[in-house]
Structure 1
C-alpha cells in the first residue's frame, strides 16, 4: 500500500476493516490516519488548560483504541472515520474532566493561600464540561447544526467534508455553523 494514499484508496481500506481484518492491515490503516488523528487531537488539546494531564498523543491513541473496539462500524469514508474519531475524542475529554472533578470532591481538605487557590482554580477544566453541556442543550434545538459543530470544531473537518458526510449542501453547513456558533457563544458568555 502506498505511504500516502488518496482519499478514495483510504476509504476502500476503511471499508474493508472488520472483525476479520488482520492486525497488520489495521495497523497500516492506523499509520496512514495517524497524522490526521493527531492533528484533530492537537486541535482539541489547544482548547484545554495548560496543565492538562492528557497529551495530544495520548488522546489520539485512546481514540484509536476505542474506535478499534467497534468492529461492526461500517466506515463510509475517511471523513466519516475522522468525524467519529472527533466525537470519541470529545467523549474522552468530557469523561476525563468529569473524573477529575469527582477526584477533587473526594480529596482531602488542605489549607491554601489565595495564590495557590487561584492556580488550582485555573487548572480545573470546567470549560470542557460547559461546552459539552451547551452543545447538548443546542442538540435539543437543532440536532443537525450540533452535529456540524461537533464535526467542525472537534473533528476539524472542512465544510465540504461535513456536507458530504451529512448529505447536505455546503451552503447549509455554513448556515448551520454560523447559527450554531452564535448560539453557543451567547450561551457560554452568559454568567
Structure 2
C-alpha cells in the first residue's frame, strides 16, 4: 500500500500551529529536507576550504525558526522567514570568519541576472557575505520588496520564478526588481 500523500506545507504549518503534533513532525521533516537542499546547494558552490557544513547551517537556521512565535501564514511566509534565518546564520558565521582576517577590500560580482548566487561571490566569502548584508540593509530602507528579492535569491538561492510564487507577484516584476536591485547593489558594493 503506497504511503499517503504529504499535504502541502501551508496546510502542515497551519495544523502544526493549531497543536497537531503529527503535522508538526511532518512539517519539520519537509522543512528540514527543503532547508538542507538549499544549504547543500549553497555550500557546494562555496570555496573548498569553507568550514560551515550544510547540516550545521540547517540546524542553526532550524533552531532559529522553531523559536519564532508568529503564526505561519503560508509556505511563502515560512520561507521568507527561513531566508532571514539563513541569512543571519551566514552573516554571523561571516562576521566570525572576518574577525580573523579583517580583509574588507572585496568586491562582490553581481553580474548575470539569471545566475547570480553565492557561488558568484568568490573565494573571500565571509567578507563578501558581510558586504552584501550591509548593502542589503541599506536597500531594505529604500525598497523592502527589492531587498526581499535579493535576500531570497542571494542567501537562499531561489529562482526568479520561485520568488514570484512566494511573493505572489509576477515573474516580470521580480525580474525587473532584481535587475534594479542588482544595479543599485553594484554601485554600493563598489564603494565599500
> What TM-score does the superposition give when structure 1 sets the normalisation length?
0.73
Per the TM alignment, residue 100 of structure 1 is displaced from its structure 2 partner at its CA by: 3.4
Whether 2:66 is the aligned partner of 1:68: answer yes
Match of 1:156 in 2: 157
Query: What is the CA RMSD across the aligned residues, in angstroms?
Result: 2.9
Cα distance, 1:2–1:127 mapped onto 2, change above 3 Å: farther
Where 1:140 maps in the other structure, the secondary structure is: helix
Match of 1:94 in 2: 91
Per the TM alignment, residue 35 of structure 1 is displaced from its structure 2 partner at its CA by: 2.7
Per the TM alignment, residue 170 of structure 1 is displaced from its structure 2 partner at its CA by: 2.5
Match of 2:15 in 1: 16
Aligned ranges for residues 34-183 of structure 1 at < 5 Å?
Answer: 34-46=32-44, 48-70=46-68, 72-102=69-99, 125-183=126-184
Cα distance, 1:2–1:189 mapped onto 2, change above 3 Å: farther
> What TM-score does the superposition give when structure 2 sets the normalisation length?
0.73
8 A contact 1:49–1:125 mirrored in 2? no
Cα distance, 1:100–1:18 mapped onto 2, change above 3 Å: same
Q: Greater Rg, structure 1 or structure 2?
A: 1
Task: Return the structure number with greater helix share.
Answer: 1
Cα distance, 1:144–1:170 mapped onto 2, change above 3 Å: same
8 A contact 1:82–1:155 mirrored in 2? no
* Structure with bigger RCO (C-alpha 8 Å, 6+ apart): 1
Per the TM alignment, residue 10 of structure 1 is displaced from its structure 2 partner at its CA by: 2.1
Cα distance, 1:104–1:156 mapped onto 2, change above 3 Å: closer
8 A contact 2:36–2:58 mirrored in 1? yes
8 A contact 1:37–1:60 mirrored in 2? yes
8 A contact 2:42–2:157 mirrored in 1? no
Cα distance, 1:102–1:159 mapped onto 2, change above 3 Å: closer
How far, CA to CA, are the matches of 1:174 and 1:124 in structure 2? 25
Q: Where in structure 2 are there 5+ consecutive unaligned residues?
A: 103-122
Per the TM alignment, residue 138 of structure 1 is displaced from its structure 2 partner at its CA by: 1.9
Where 1:125 maps in the other structure, the secondary structure is: helix
Match of 1:118 in 2: none
Count of residues in Structure 1 that have an aligned counterpart in Structure 2: 171
Match of 1:110 in 2: none
8 A contact 1:79–1:157 mirrored in 2? no
Where 2:72 maps in the other structure, the secondary structure is: coil
